[in-house]
């Protein structure tokens, strides 16, 4: 008689056999699942606090994806001989897992949640990131924590005109696409991809194909939960304080509507701050007991309602544009006298100073990855100091967000770089964001392409990127071209598309709501193409 109450589910998934196990390892975590996909084994655990900290005003979710050297039969290569700070791949994978699960926790759930995924065995032909996403989804599902999942995830390749499910690193060498999609049974929530100048239709087909394949994993997770699921938490969203909501609305609505008629970002932000302060003062004057965090949340909801309502009603956007216009673009090349190549790319209130440097083969970055060592001859580093948004902050080590944005810009440019035979140099691009109001990562793509050309790199084509937003309410929806920072927070989907005149080289989507259909995505991608071609025209002048 075993002391473990172990439950196992096995299913065939394309060319791989997948096993999900729970009940043997890490039993004190709120939920823990061991996933084995053809010898790649990950342990995904989730722990949630039973209650939220007092005054907590956002959802504190942390995702840590950790690769262990022993998984590939290695000893860490440093004097220290143990795993140290997270590698770039670990950071990017943590973000990849975080993005689709974050919107599925219920609104108002502010308990701390910590997801930890260990890669404990690695078959180099089976990527651990998909296993980690499936494992996280399963661990959340069996834990009983309030979560509107589970999610499925899949990697999609495109080889000889056909979609391939979860291609390994050898197969990917012949693939024109590397796309990861994650979502619930009914809706896609996240897409991350790089491609070799593929059309919108092929990209959308890959998203749909990956989403369908992800449902196979979801069905297995449902079976696991039926046998091994813990009781679902009796969590209720805090009741809405209707009298307070009515009071805040009465005090704030007019002032905020006026603020959102101001077209300049700094002046608008100031007007919003004054409106916030006036509401707090008004409530104090009326002797109302209130929690300032809660009131700020209500004010944000009013802002979202105003901006979304204006856009859906066909009124001008925050800065006076219509839905399809790209902000004015200014480009200056060879900005810095002693650098190899440089460009200053400005789109509205977003500006990137991008610099390219060339080096010899010896300057290539050696990457000691778990799946095997390799050299990278193209690096792209993204930095965004606090002054870019007119804020006071501190300069520290590279943040997760900066690593993620740098990788997205890199994906966009890789497809048009010359081969090593054509151009044997190592290339490093650094994007310094000097102003930011919406999509600095796509400004980095445009500036990066121009700076490489300025340095004399024989690029195959110009690449431009554009950030799009989407606002949906019942049956009405509006797609926004070239979104501002404020629109990013208030929208239901933001997606970034980069590419050449021939096709897409990178696509990233993050969707916050259920019910974004294939048709809506099609409209959005078509509108993004129009904007991309407009920017490419400016870059080629």
CATH number at residue 246: 1.10.10.400
Domain end call among 313, 337, 365: 313
> CA of 85: how far to CAs of 80, 169, 266, 397, in Å?
12, 25, 37, 12
187 and 40: one domain? yes
Give pLDDT tens digits for 49-61.
999 998 888 899 9
Q: Please compute, for residue 278, the number of CA atoms within 13 A of its CA located in the half-sphere on the CB side.
A: 15
Assigned domain for 163 exists = yes
Assigned domain for 2 exists = no
pTM for the whole structure: 0.93
Across the chain, mean pLDDT equals 93
90 and 215: one domain? yes
Assigned domain for 413 exists = yes
Residue percentage of the chain with pLDDT more than 70: 100
Give pLDDT tens digits for 321-376.
999 999 999 999 999 999 999 999 999 999 999 999 999 999 999 998 898 889 99
65 and 172: one domain? yes
pLDDT beyond 90 at 245: no
Tell how many helices (H) and how many strands (E) occur in the chain: 11, 21
Question: Distance between CA 541 and CA 332 in Å, rounded?
Answer: 11
Residue percentage of the chain with pLDDT more than 90: 72
206 and 273: one domain? no
370 and 496: one domain? yes
Look at residues 474, 442, 466, 485 and name the one whose alpha carbon lies nearest to residue 525: 466
Assigned domain for 233 exists = no
Question: Distance between CA 406 and CA 383 in Å, rounded?
Answer: 8
Q: What H or E segment, with its residue span, contains residue 271?
A: helix 265-285
Sheet holding 162-165, edge to edge: 162-165, 152-159, 177-183, 188-198, 504-511, 493-499, 464-473, 476-481
250 and 222: one domain? no
pLDDT beyond 90 at 514: no
170 and 307: one domain? no
Owning domain of residue 436: 329-540
Average pLDDT over residues 209-216: 96
> Which residue(s) pair with 504 in the sheet?
198, 499
Q: Which residues contact 338 (CB under 8 A, 6 or more apart)?
A: none
* 28-37, 185-194, 276-285: the lowest-pLDDT one: 276-285
Per DSSP, helices labelled H in 58-199 are 88-101, 128-143, 169-172
Question: Distance between CA 371 and CA 366 in Å, rounded?
Answer: 13
Domain end call among 193, 228, 263: 228
438 and 300: one domain? no
Assigned domain for 324 exists = no
163 and 251: one domain? no
Q: Determine contact, residues 383/403, Cβ cutoff 8 Å.
A: no
Number of domains in the chain: 3
Assigned domain for 274 exists = yes
189 and 92: one domain? yes
């Amino acid at each position: 008689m075993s002391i473990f109450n172990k439950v196992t589910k096995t299913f065939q998934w394309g060319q791989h056999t997948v096993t999900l196990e729970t009940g043997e390892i890490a039993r004190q975590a709120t939920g823990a699942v061991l996933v084995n996909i053809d010898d790649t084994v990950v342990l995904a655990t989730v722990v949630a606090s039973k209650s939220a900290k007092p005054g907590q005003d956002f959802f504190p979710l942390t995702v840590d994806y950790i690769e262990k050297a022993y998984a590939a039969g290695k000893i860490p290569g440093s004097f220290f001989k143990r795993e140290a700070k997270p590698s770039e791949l670990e950071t990017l994978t943590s973000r990849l897992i975080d993005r689709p699960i974050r919107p599925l926790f219920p609104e108002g759930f502010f308990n701390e949640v910590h997801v930890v995924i260990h890669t404990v065995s690695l078959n180099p032909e089976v990527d651990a990131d998909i296993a980690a996403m499936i494992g996280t989804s399963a661990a959340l599902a069996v834990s009983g924590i309030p979560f509107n999942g589970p999610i499925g995830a899949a990697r999609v390749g495109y080889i000889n005109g056909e979609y391939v499910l979860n291609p390994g690193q050898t197969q990917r060498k012949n693939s024109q696409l590397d796309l990861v999609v994650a979502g619930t049974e009914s809706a896609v929530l996240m897409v991350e991809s790089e491609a070799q100048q593929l059309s919108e239709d092929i990209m959308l087909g890959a998203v749909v194909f990956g989403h369908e394949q992800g449902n196979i994993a979801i069905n297995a997770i449902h079976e696991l939960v039926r046998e091994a699921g813990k009781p679902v938490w009796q969590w209720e969203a805090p009741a809405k304080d209707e009298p307070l909501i009515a009071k805040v609305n009465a005090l704030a609505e007019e002032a905020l509507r006026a603020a959102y008629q101001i077209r300049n970002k700094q002046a608008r932000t100031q007007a919003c701050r004054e409106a916030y302060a006036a509401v707090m003062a008004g409530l104090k004057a009326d002797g109302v007991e209130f929690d300032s965090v809660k009131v700020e949340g209500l004010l944000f909801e009013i802002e979202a309602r105003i901006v979304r309502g204006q856009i859906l009603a066909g009124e001008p956007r925050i800065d006076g544009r219509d839905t399809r216009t790209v902000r004015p673009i200014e480009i200056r090349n060879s900005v810095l006298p002693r650098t190899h190549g440089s460009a200053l790319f400005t789109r509205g209130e977003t500006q990137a100073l991008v610099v390219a440097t060339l080096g010899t083969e010896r300057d290539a970055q050696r990457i000691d990855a778990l799946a095997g060592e390799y050299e990278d001859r193209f690096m792209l580093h993204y930095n965004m100091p606090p002054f870019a948004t007119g804020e006071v902050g501190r300069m520290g080590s590279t943040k997760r967000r900066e690593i993620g944005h740098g990788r997205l810009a890199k994906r966009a440019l890789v497809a048009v770089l010359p081969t090593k035979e054509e151009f044997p140099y190592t290339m490093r691009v650094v994007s310094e964001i000097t102003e930011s109001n919406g999509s600095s990562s796509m400004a980095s793509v445009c500036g990066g392409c121009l700076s490489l050309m300025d340095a004399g790199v024989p690029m195959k084509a110009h690449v431009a990127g554009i950030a799009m937003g989407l606002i949906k309410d019942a049956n009405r929806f509006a797609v926004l071209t070239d979104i501002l920072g404020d629109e990013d927070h208030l929208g239901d989907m933001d997606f970034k598309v980069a590419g050449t005149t021939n096709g897409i080289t990178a696509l990233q989507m993050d969707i916050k709501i259920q019910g974004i259909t294939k048709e809506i995505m099609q409209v959005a991608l078509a509108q993004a193409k129009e904007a991309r071609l407009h920017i490419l025209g400016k870059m080629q002048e």
